[in-house]
Structure 1
Amino acid sequence: MAVPAHITTLNLNGKFQMNKSLSDSPDDMLSAQGVGWIKRKAMGAASITVTITHSKNNAGVDTLSLVQVVSGGDPAEPEEKTLDWEEKTKEIKLFGGPCVTRSKRVSLDEVQESYLKEGWSADTLEHGCILVHLAYEGKHGWKTEQTWGIGEINGERRHIRRIALTGTKGEKLYNRIVYDYRE
């Protein structure tokens, strides 16, 4: 289902389910991140739903509280993204160790990677997208830059995450995840 017009990057509240037919396969990217074949296949078969609660903290900074549920998988690990560009370290089981993350709202003019700038709705262009940096320095070291926002696909508004991964040897992979609005 399409994202209602009142939901923008200024108010990203809702429940969203990954649309596999509109999303890119995550397999190559997960492989480059050191995720084993069995886990990749299980994730490819699973249904992923994320609930986002968008609010402001006591300092007036936007905060995204996320609960991701993977069907048939591990229980959801709640995650919070404070859009202040401060580094935070989080243990992520999927990758086998701690990852460093930081997030902020940016104008697309501030985004370096051209792939991350494509396909956004007029309101995302106006209000900016959510920029997320995630890095893992373990055995299969990598980093991603991600842009989150509302885009249009086939004339319908969708929650989209565009990802550019840089691997240990400098290789680049790109991925788009598209979500249907559920409530």
Structure 2
Amino acid sequence: MAVPASMTTLNLSGKFSINKTLSHPPEEILELQGVAMLKRKAMGAATLTVNLKHYKNDSGKECLSLEQTIAGLDLGVPEEKVLDWVEQTRDTKLIGTVVTKAKRVKVDEVENAYLKEGWSADTLENGCIMVHVTPEGKDSWSAEQTWGIGEVKGERRHVRRIAFTGPDKKLEHQFVYDYLGEN
């Protein structure tokens, strides 16, 4: 389901579910991140739901809080992203400890051409959310991501585009989400 016409990257709050038909399958990226085959298959078969809260913290910094579940199973404590491009370390149940940083950026400032494609006019105007993720203490992979409202088959959707660099492979994937309503 498309996002409401009023939703922009200035407020991405809502409940979303990954649309498997419009998204790349996650298994290849998960394999390059070292996730075991049975977990990869389970992730590919399950439905991922994300509750996203977009807000300003007490310091006035823009933040995103994500709570992810798969078929009703909690994937851990909510993930807090402060959009200040300062590295944060967090433990994940699926891929171990990662270092992330995030910020709002104008699409034309993004270096990777794939991450610049397919955005709505309001995302081009307001900027997208850029996220960088690497495993802690290793340089085995990295993921550069842009999040925003994209135009997918004539509909406005929450989209995450990923340029993934693994040990011997580079991937470009897009995850498209159905809007399920307010959270």
State the TM-score, normalized to the length of structure 2. Answer: 0.94
Alignment-derived partner of residue 145 in structure 1: 144
Deviations 1:25-64 (CA, angstroms, capped at 9, x unpaired): 1111111111111001000110111011111012211111
Could you tell me which of 159, 174, 181 is aligned with 2:172? 174
Q: For 2:105 and 2:75, how far apart are their aligned partners in 1? A: 32
The alpha-carbon deviation at position 168 of structure 1 amounts to 2.8
Look up the equivalent residue of 1:177 and give its one-letter code.
F
**Identity among equivalent pairs (%):** 60
Q: Does the CA-based 8 Å contact 2:76-2:92 persist in structure 1?
A: no
Q: Which residue of 1 aligns with 2:94?
A: 94
Match of 1:160 in 2: 159
Residues 107, 129 of structure 1: 8 Å contact kept: yes
CA distance in 2 between counterparts of 1:17 and 1:34 reads: 24
> Are the structure 2 counterparts of residues 37 and 73 from structure 1 closer, same or farther at C-alpha, using a change threshold of 3 Å?
farther
1:124 equivalent to 2:123? Answer yes
| Mapped partners of 1:61, 1:137: distance in 2 | 25
Matched, 1:43 2:43: yes
Aligned pairs for 1:27-106 (under 5 A) are 27-71=27-71, 73-95=73-95, 97-106=96-105
Distance in 2 of aligned mates of 1:105 and 1:28: 28
Q: Compute the displacement of 1:112 (Å).
A: 1.1
1-side partners of 2:139 and 2:41: how far apart?
Answer: 19
Cα deviation code 1:80-124 (max 9, x no counterpart): 1110001010111211x3110000000112211111111000000
Q: 8 Å contact 1:9–1:129 — kept in the other structure?
A: yes
Tell me the matched-pair count: 181
Letter in 2 for 1:90: R
Aligned to 2:135: 136
RMSD over aligned CA atoms reads 1.5
Distance 1:140 1:38, change over 3 A: farther
Describe the shift of the 1:72–1:23 C-alpha distance in structure 2 as closer, same or farther (beyond 3 A).
Answer: same
2:108 alignment partner, SS class: helix
How far apart in 1 are the matches of 2:136 and 2:57?
30
Measured in 2, the distance between the counterparts of 1:76 and 1:55 equals 21
Deviations along 1:146-167, whole A, 9 cap, x unmatched?
Answer: 0000001121110000011111
More displaced, 130-139 or 119-128?
130-139
